[in-house]
Structure 1
Amino acid sequence: MRAPVSWIAEHVDLPAGLTARELGDALVRVGLEVERVDSAADGISGPLVVGRVLSFTDEPQKNGKVIRWCSVDVGEDEPRGIVCGAHNFAVDDLIIAVLPGAVLPGPFPISARKTYGHLSDGMICSSRELGIGEDHDGILVLEPGTAKPGDDALDVLGLRDAVLDIAVTPDRGYCLSVRGLAREAGAALAVPFHDLAVTLPADSTGGYPVTVADPAACDQFSVRAVTGLDPSCPTPDFITHRLRAAGMRSISLTVDVTNYVMLETGQPLHAYDRASLRGPLGVRRAQPGEKLTTLDGTARLLDADDLVITDDRGPIGLAGVMGGAETEISALTEQILLEAAHFDPAVISRAVRRHRLPSEAAKRFERGVDPAMAAVALQRCVDLLTEYGGATAQAAGTVVGSGPEPVLIALPATRSAELAGLPIPAEAVHARLEQVGCAVHDSGSGLFSVTPPSWRPDLTDPADLVEEVVRLEGYDKIPSELPHPPAGRGWTAEQRLRRAVSRALAAAGYTEVINYPFVSPAIHDIFGLPKDDPRRRAVRLANPISDAEPEMRTSLLPGLLGNLSRNVGRGSRDLAIFEMGLVYLPAPSAERAPRPGVEHRPSEHELAAIASTVPVQPRHVATVLAGDLARAGWWGGAEQAGWADAIESARVVARAARAELEVRKAEIAPWHPGRCAELLLAGMVIGTAGELHPRVVAALGLPPRTCAMELDLDAVAPPAPAQAPTLSSFPPVLLDLALVVPAEVPAADVLAAVREGSGELLESVRLFDVYADADRLGEGLKSLAFALRFRAPDRTLTVDEATAARDRAVATARSRVGAQLRA
């Protein structure tokens, strides 16, 4: 929220001599985040004056451009000659001229210079060149009579006024208005606040007909009508200047007035071209198939949850978000119907996100507006249109609904002091709550009955009131005392392992998720688990949160696949996610846990019996991949996630634990029988990885070829502190080795034989190619190509030594797996 200080000063008696920076500091003390205090004049120095165009000559140039050689009166004895490329002005128009020696925002120094055959003694400015707008199609032309030649343009344009740029948190929606900021300034500086003074009409019946079909979503809807507006009337300069300072551009008198009143009161308003309306206004939910073209020109398909404004044709506006194009105010509009309403914040918030259509009005409705301000804002808008647009106000308006009922909160007088640790007497609590705008009744028994003001829908509980009291007393007064932490030994080995694994998977492109540990028994059948599979033996809860999920998980995959299914349903099909958490396996003891009485402490025997029935809770880590790991583009085709990527995620976990996994082919549900691998550590199976079975993928509605991995993290020993290996300064010897083996021989077995046979000189070995060709290799054979790196720590290794090591690797592979060196 950007608010000029002069506008705030109209509603609060600021102390004499108070600077804009000091006002910003005062607002910070009461909890507002003032991001910046600036003015449009900060980047401008030197002579910037109002000028009058005395005459000009259009001069075509060789490049096809037509420039104007202008004679401009800038309040000096002689006019100045200035070259200008714009054509949106006429003789006697008032313009803004910057003279030699001045500096515009950029910085852009101005000097007299020869151009297009003339000596241009200055420059005629556009809004963008002055840093007050984005309009660069033409120069800035002032309204006649607003100034005279030679006047200081900074004062004429109101650029010297300091502007506060404030980041308003969602719970402080009332501060999205000058009225709300002025109230906060009054509380911060202990000076009087002056609310808007308007005369409301005595009659609220007989106006334009309105029906509200959903009072829960719209508990108040008000309209006022004005007629006889002169569309040619310009927007007053003070409104234009303030809108510009607040970050809005001037459009037309009617639109500018509604925006101005919204910024002033915090109540969004909408203006309809009354001549374009067809019948009474209505407020209801959208019906299936209805469409609406909003003011931005976009045709939108409405959702049944959308709240819309209608007439006899159907929807003419998306309530609280944006109006429709059919009833838009035009340059010929003379009859106007003004709307001010109070909508349910959640309804507006959902509509904004559903249609991706943020607006200034929606920003305020989402945070809650003051329902008591609707009539005031309408009257303020009517007054401005009648004063500056020559309009005539309809005597009666229409008000449907009375708004939300006020709440009553009981607050102990000592609660604020107890929670803040400050000596805040009951009198100070009473005074601070009244500063906020609350109605406070003191029963005399140490309990306040507090009714929050209508503009503070966020005040619903005693803690909210305590926060208001403490922030006005001053957050800086709260004592800062750090607790004394107990001595510790840092992270345990298990904690270091979990953090290392989590960081490694995140670095590999996986996103961590956290799921509830509850599952449905039906998941075992969907996974196709055999009847005697131990994963079917799940702990059943006596009082589950949901009857649909009464069991504790024995695997992390149900939750992860549920995450994948939800994301796919929302349009995200390329995913890589992981979870680290406990699984719950029934205790070996089949006995039920004893239930000792409360008359005495349980005995050691009873405690041991209870402990023996507690489920075994190993910590697992699991990953799920679906869709493309790399998308298609000019660089090539897409790379789909496959079973090898699932196995690689297990290796990522193993590397983080400084362990070496062994991989071998397996057939385990719910994985594809031909694309599944067991993960072994020191000969013990600790997990499984691969592509899920097509039946499981189809049953859960997952993308084709979905892959997954799960392993027992507790079975991986926490990494012990290790000394980094000594780096050799001697060059390596790089050799390639291609071995032909039967197709059924796992590549991991061949790799292990090569590594063992190469001996201590082998630094690394990598499988880089798998080749099969019946004509060249023979039926049922495949070729595995390995890249070997040999290096000695104390000398330069000879090729003969490396070749001998490679030959030993070939011999070992031949004896172990029947490998033959490929010719």
Structure 2
Amino acid sequence: MKVLTSWLRHYLPTLTVTDRQLADDLTLRGIAVEGVHPLGEGNGHLFEMDITTNRVDAMNHYGIAREAATIYGLPLEPLHPRLPVGTLVDKPFPVRIADDARGLCGRFTAQVLRNVNIAPSTGLIAEYFALLGQKQISNAVDASNFTLLGMGHPTHAFDLDKIEGGIVVRLARKGEKLRLLDGTERTLEADDLVVADEKKALALAGVMGGWDSMITPETKNILVEAAWFDPATVRRSSRRHLLHTDASHRFERGADFNAAPLANALVSQLILQGGGSVEGELVDLIDSEVAVRTADRPSIELSVAEVRRHLGTTLDPEGITSEIVSRFLTSLGCELVLHGLDLYLVKLPSWRLDLEREIDLVEEIARVYGYNRFANTLPTALPVTDYSSAAAERAIRRRLLELGFSEAVSSTFAGQQDAALFYESSVTNTKKKTVAMENPLSEEASLLRPSLVPGMLAMLAHNLNRDVQEVRLFEQGEVFTGTAAPDAGWISEVHEAPQLSLGITTASPSPSNLYPASDAPIFELKGIIESLVSLFAPPGGAAALTFTANGTPSWLEPGRGAVALLDNQPLASFGELATTERESRKLRQPVYLAQIDLARLYELPLRRATSHDLSRFQAVERDFSFVLPDTVQWHTVAAAVDALAVPEMQSRTPVEIWRDPKKHPGVYSLLLRTVFQSHERTLRDEELSGWSQRIIDALTALGGVLRA
């Protein structure tokens, strides 16, 4: 953003510091000046500024002058436009906000000007525009641009004689055509907000005016408009039609609800300098519900003691006083009422929508006071403790890193389409609602994410699009759902829950005796889930974890996924991404995903690592080769062997598993290796024979057949 110091000094006639000192002081207060360029004798400097998106109030000369006035304790020239008395009319110019635009147009002001003279701009407008490199069009159009750069609120001037009937603010009709000021014709959607007359659309609200009602050299009568439009609606239209304008930039971030009448009067005053008259009074339509959310927000209680507690010791002996708090906040536009000893009720200015809580006011005081004026002190030492799931989270992260995965972090937001696919169809979905953002950045980021899978897919696609064909990623993070208020559509409570997402894609998976290469990643995910559960101690032991092909979510390819059950309750879904979804995302090779409910695991105690002295007696291995039905899973075999409760059995491991579906359908071969060892004595042959027979009997009871 370009700012003229001469324009700033127009609003601050008593400012005495140099332009470079002003640049340094503004930068220290968060209004960053990135470049200072001299403009010649008597013209001051041009500031190149970087204004953060939450400070739309500072995206203009008057807002920056307000910051400087607060820093130096100087008076700020008020904006008091003076319009000539208008001619009386029987009825004001007809303006209405249609029912479908309620809440989307919170305020609309209109002023009729008659017999104006359209000519090139002169005076301060011409001078300042020349220094800024701003294109001059005509005095009417330049007046709107000058007001935007000066005090920050967008306005628009219509050729009154081209308006049929009156002004109607409404939603567009799907397929409706509108030719804009840039000469392009746009096809509108049903959720585009337009300023129209009784027959046609005149402007895309908050974005750009229309061609058919623009100011020309022949214009004689003008309707000046200044309004407040819903940020999300403007952003949606701006993104859809690929139009990012100075007006949309400000409306998207939250314009000042109370600025519309002032901006309208400033534009009208500038136009009338070239001739003309005012007809009737200002038309000012206000939506009271929008006013409550913006300009008339409740006051905030501010304690000076809390300010001191948060900010700590200053380099100045007197520190932060009540007088400093009152002076800074009043200069920034707040209204303070003493509500007790060192306690204020603070009425927030309409142009500071970023201020919502007491701590926001504390930050404002610290910012204006100057962070460099606080002493370097350490905070009071407090006991530091881990949050309850920290140990489990670290154990999972360590295990996944050991298994060759890399940790990744994705966006906290998701789109409605992804939420419907990856959350609403999920087996772990508890039917809570998704949480919509009040002021979303885009359609693809309109919700707090209810699942980590969309973010994982985006990261896998990012790697594949850069020719990285072997990718193994995991993400631990929070997902968000909400509880709806009874008999209402809004979310009354937002819930956070931990989730784990795994993603695998490989160009050359390795086959085994049990499955072909294409199935390897699916079984790898299954093994990883088993490995993660083994970090914990479920009450049912290893048998608590089972797998089923029933109930797999729709985002998995049919027959290529499964659900992991912990105590017969869904814990995870995993498998190959559905082909239709992979093709729609233009993924060039198969992708394998797992979504795991960490909250279920965090409820379980972590297994503790234990150690004991090594036995000085010889260990003995015994192998058992069995043919088992396909329906007998390993956890069933392990549970059956463990149930024998042989203290001397140190381990049981599946050494080899293989199958030949063509020759021996429905069965597989298992080579089970057991290790026996005592810490007290050498084991006898009869003991080993007895334990071996018990193992054979247990596996035979499962339907197994001992191989000769």
TM over 0.5: yes
Paired position in structure 2 for 1:331: 217
- The change in CA–CA distance for 1:33 and 1:702 in structure 2 (over 3 A counts) is closer
What are the superposed Cα offsets for residues 338-376 of structure 1, whole Å, 9 maximum, x if unpaired?
Answer: 101122223322322233321101112223333333222
Paired with 2:219 and 2:52, the residues of 1 have a C-alpha distance of 37
Find the residue that maps to 1:415 and give its secondary structure.
helix
- Equivalent residue for 1:451, pick from 333, 340, 347: 347
Paired with 1:523 and 1:672, the residues of 2 have a C-alpha distance of 13
Paired with 1:645 and 1:252, the residues of 2 have a C-alpha distance of 70
Paired position in structure 1 for 2:310: 419
Paired with 1:513 and 1:438, the residues of 2 have a C-alpha distance of 35
Structure 1 residue 319 displacement after superposition:
0.9
For the 8 Å contact 2:109–2:282, the answer to whether it is kept is yes
For the 8 Å contact 2:561–2:573, the answer to whether it is kept is yes
Find the residue that maps to 1:309 and give its secondary structure.
strand
Paired with 1:323 and 1:708, the residues of 2 have a C-alpha distance of 49
Matched, 1:373 2:259: yes
Paired position in structure 1 for 2:612: none
- What pairs with 1:763-778 in structure 2 (closer than 5 Å)? none
For the 8 Å contact 1:257–1:385, the answer to whether it is kept is yes
Paired with 1:711 and 1:386, the residues of 2 have a C-alpha distance of 65
- What pairs with 1:351-370 in structure 2 (closer than 5 Å)? 351-370=237-256
Matched, 1:219 2:103: no
Unaligned residue ranges in structure 1 (runs of 5+): 42-153, 528-535, 549-557, 584-617, 630-641, 658-666, 678-686, 715-823
Paired position in structure 2 for 1:759: none
Matched, 1:6 2:20: no
**Higher Cα Rg: structure 1 or 2?**
1
Paired position in structure 2 for 1:30: 29
Paired with 1:431 and 1:376, the residues of 2 have a C-alpha distance of 25
- The change in CA–CA distance for 1:698 and 1:266 in structure 2 (over 3 A counts) is closer
Find the residue that maps to 1:316 and give its secondary structure.
strand
Paired with 2:105 and 2:349, the residues of 1 have a C-alpha distance of 19
AA matched with 1:8: L
For the 8 Å contact 1:442–1:449, the answer to whether it is kept is yes
Paired with 1:547 and 1:380, the residues of 2 have a C-alpha distance of 46
Matched, 1:229 2:229: no
AA matched with 1:429: V
Structure 1 residue 237 displacement after superposition:
5.4
Paired position in structure 2 for 1:242: 128
Q: TM-score, normalised by structure 2?
A: 0.58
Find the residue that maps to 2:353 and give its secondary structure.
coil
Structure 1 residue 171 displacement after superposition:
2.1
Find the residue that maps to 1:349 and give its secondary structure.
helix
- Equivalent residue for 2:592, pick from 705, 708, 728: 708
Paired with 2:276 and 2:476, the residues of 1 have a C-alpha distance of 69
Find the residue that maps to 1:440 and give its secondary structure.
strand
Structure 1 residue 471 displacement after superposition:
1.6
- What pairs with 1:122-201 in structure 2 (closer than 5 Å)? 160-199=43-82
- The change in CA–CA distance for 1:702 and 1:649 in structure 2 (over 3 A counts) is farther
Paired with 2:257 and 2:81, the residues of 1 have a C-alpha distance of 16
- The change in CA–CA distance for 1:176 and 1:623 in structure 2 (over 3 A counts) is same
Paired position in structure 2 for 1:391: 276
What are the superposed Cα offsets for residues 766-785 of structure 1, whole Å, 9 maximum, x if unpaired?
Answer: xxxxxxxxxxxxxxxxxxxx
For the 8 Å contact 1:646–1:709, the answer to whether it is kept is no
Paired position in structure 1 for 2:330: 434
Unaligned residue ranges in structure 2 (runs of 5+): 314-318, 435-449, 479-497, 509-515, 532-547, 563-571, 602-708
Which has the higher relative contact order, 1 or 2, with Cα contacts under 8 A spaced 6 or more apart?
2
Paired with 2:281 and 2:201, the residues of 1 have a C-alpha distance of 25
What are the superposed Cα offsets for residues 89-123 of structure 1, whole Å, 9 maximum, x if unpaired?
Answer: xxxxxxxxxxxxxxxxxxxxxxxxxxxxxxxxxxx
For the 8 Å contact 1:3–1:245, the answer to whether it is kept is no
Paired with 2:212 and 2:70, the residues of 1 have a C-alpha distance of 45
Aligned residues: 494
Paired with 1:179 and 1:466, the residues of 2 have a C-alpha distance of 23
- The change in CA–CA distance for 1:469 and 1:291 in structure 2 (over 3 A counts) is same
AA matched with 2:116: L
Matched, 1:286 2:172: yes
- The change in CA–CA distance for 1:582 and 1:467 in structure 2 (over 3 A counts) is closer
Paired with 2:232 and 2:557, the residues of 1 have a C-alpha distance of 45
Paired with 1:515 and 1:369, the residues of 2 have a C-alpha distance of 24
Find the residue that maps to 2:165 and give its secondary structure.
coil
- What pairs with 1:305-704 in structure 2 (closer than 5 Å)? 305-387=191-273, 389-401=274-286, 404-405=291-292, 406-407=296-297, 408-422=299-313, 423-481=319-377, 495=397, 498=400, 544=430, 546=432, 578-581=473-476, 622-623=502-503, 647=521
Structure 1 residue 436 displacement after superposition:
1.3
Paired position in structure 2 for 1:148: none
- Further displaced range: 705-714 or 213-222: 705-714
Paired with 1:282 and 1:470, the residues of 2 have a C-alpha distance of 45
Q: TM-score, normalised by structure 1?
A: 0.51
- The change in CA–CA distance for 1:496 and 1:474 in structure 2 (over 3 A counts) is same
Paired with 1:648 and 1:514, the residues of 2 have a C-alpha distance of 27
AA matched with 1:221: F
Paired with 1:449 and 1:461, the residues of 2 have a C-alpha distance of 12
Paired with 2:30 and 2:581, the residues of 1 have a C-alpha distance of 54
Paired with 1:579 and 1:450, the residues of 2 have a C-alpha distance of 46
What are the superposed Cα offsets for residues 737-791 of structure 1, whole Å, 9 maximum, x if unpaired?
Answer: xxxxxxxxxxxxxxxxxxxxxxxxxxxxxxxxxxxxxxxxxxxxxxxxxxxxxxx
For the 8 Å contact 1:643–1:690, the answer to whether it is kept is no
